[in-house]
Structure 1
Amino acid sequence: MKVNLVQYSVRPDYVEQNKLNIEAVMRELRSIGHDGVEYAVYLRPDGRTFMHFVRQSTVEAEHYPTSLESFRVFQAQLRPNLKAAPTVEALTLVDLFAPGAERDAQARTP
C-alpha cells in the first residue's frame, strides 16, 4: 500500500480553476470506481495551498489518478500557476478508522 501527501500553493487568481480541475479528476475517478484508490484534497486556511492525500492499496491502483486524462490536464494547467513547488511525502499508515477499516487492518496484519 502507498500513501502520499502532495502539497503546493497556487497564485490567488488560479484557486477557483484549480478547484474545478480537481473536481474533474474526482469525477473521472468516481466513474472508474476503483476501490483500491482513496483520494482527498484539502485547502489550507491560507486559501491557496492545496494538500492531496492519495492512498493506493494495490499495484493496479498505483496508476490512479496519474494515468487519467483529467489528471494530465490538471497538471499541465497547474505548472504555470504555482507559487510554491509541490512537495511529495510518502506516509506510513499506522491505523485507520473508516468504513472498510477492518479490511485494511487485516491487510496490514502479517
Structure 2
Amino acid sequence: MINVIVSYTVKPEFVPTNQANIQTFLSDFKNLDQSAFEYKVFLKEDGVTFLHYSNYINEEVQHEVLNTPSFKEFQKLRDESGLNGSHKVEILQSII
C-alpha cells in the first residue's frame, strides 16, 4: 500500500478556483476502480492550506490516478497560482 500526504498553501483569492478544480478531478476519479485507491482533500483552519491524503494498492494504480487529465490540469493551475515553496509531499509508512 502506498500512502501519501500532500500539503500546500494558495493565495486567498485562488481558494474558490482550487476547490472547483478539486471537485472536477474528484468527480473524474469516480470513474476509476474505487476499491484500488482512496483520495481525500481537506482545507485547514487557516482557509488557504489544502491537505490531500491518498492511498493506492500499488504503483500502477497510483500512476493511473495521478495521470487523470483533470488531475494533471488541477496540478498545473495550482502550481501556476504561486505556491511560494509551500508544496510538500510526504510518503507515510504503515506501522500495522
Q: Distance in 2 between matches of 1:23 and 1:78?
A: 13
How far 1:33 sits from its partner (Å)? 3.0
Q: Distance in 1 between matches of 2:65 and 2:13?
A: 25
- After superposition, residues 53-64 of structure 1 pair within 5 angstroms as 53-64=53-64
Q: Could you say what secondary structure the match of 1:65 adopts?
A: helix
**TM-score of the superposition, structure 1-length normalised?**
0.79
Residue equivalent to 1:40: 40
**TM-score of the superposition, structure 2-length normalised?**
0.89
Q: Where in structure 1 are there 5+ consecutive unaligned residues?
A: 96-110
Q: Could you say what secondary structure the match of 2:30 adopts?
A: helix
The farther-off stretch of 61-70 and 3-12 is 61-70
- CA RMSD, Structure 1 to Structure 2 (Å): 1.4
Q: Where in structure 2 are there 5+ consecutive unaligned residues?
A: none
Q: Which has the higher contact order (CA 8 A, sep 6+)?
A: 2
TM superposition outliers: structure 1 runs of 4+ over 6 Å: none
Q: Aligned pairs, how many?
A: 95
Is this contact kept in 1: 2:2–2:59, CA < 8 A?
no
Residue equivalent to 2:90: 89
TM-superposition CA deviations, 1:61-109 (whole Å, max 9, x none): 12143110001110111112124431011112235xxxxxxxxxxxxxx
Q: Which of the two has higher C-alpha Rg?
A: 1
Q: Distance in 1 between matches of 2:44 and 2:11?
A: 14
Is this contact kept in 2: 1:29–1:65, CA < 8 A?
yes
How high is the sequence identity, in percent, across the aligned residues? Answer: 29
Is this contact kept in 2: 1:25–1:65, CA < 8 A?
no
How far 1:42 sits from its partner (Å)? 0.4
